Structure 1
């Protein structure tokens, strides 16, 4: 067990580490079940996420189905799996496209940036700052080549597509897609955003 848990429910003086997430207790400080079901680590701080709305769940599911239908055999799309970006940062993207070998390992609790080809965040009201600012910058710093941010426009998904600039280690916006998304990387993808599988 990590020494960090000796300080629970307060954080340890040095902050939480990415490895601590695999050792958190099953219950919350007052015996709440599934207390840690939706938790991320950003810069050494635990971030608890709110229950997702149906739009969020619907878009996640639809993107995973479509991406897996079009993905080459060496990659696969998975939902809400952590990516360990460093000692103190372990976010949980909504969807990630990872190496198939990594996706096939059912004992994994996280992936590393070298295994991730695309990270996708579907923005919720409570996660706007994290999904628009904090997490994309961390993904870029870690070298994840492709990032999509999905916004809710009156019940319709709008996808902002970013690609990593290797010179600056920052994302550059390559397109905003309202009805139909067509991109050549990380592999050829065409998505009818108004007709995602439900």
Structure 2
């Protein structure tokens, strides 16, 4: 009985500490999760309304409301899970995370097809795709999202605005897909 009371009081202390941690304002160096996705990263810069998060080799700037602080334990667990499950990425070609830059350059295809994907899944694929595009140093890539209602196109373009290294983007020429394809020029 006494051990049960001690365990309950220990659990209460941990819950209270977690609540205090969650209430603390974001700071540079905090580990965060992008709400609505499996993306995790580290806060690198803060402004009144925006936060820059380093996710892999890409730094993305977004509204503070889009991120949630996670504990160091959650971060480590997520990193282990991602490392174990990230043997390959699911876009037009299988690109292995552990490959050298030269091997990635040889396997890289400068286009990705995310038609029919949910927004969060498409953004996740585009994030990895753009990460590789910037790493291998291509000058231009295309993202095939389809026309539909334009929601996927709009969300992908919002995301592209947050990526350093993107010079410009816009619709493909009409004879090459028009509004169903976003052409991205990289610096």
| TM-score, normalized by the shorter chain, greater than 0.5 | no
Point out the structure with the larger strand share.
1
Greater radius of gyration (CA): 2
Q: TM-score, length-normalised on structure 1?
A: 0.29
Point out the structure with the larger helix share.
2
Q: TM-score, length-normalised on structure 2?
A: 0.31
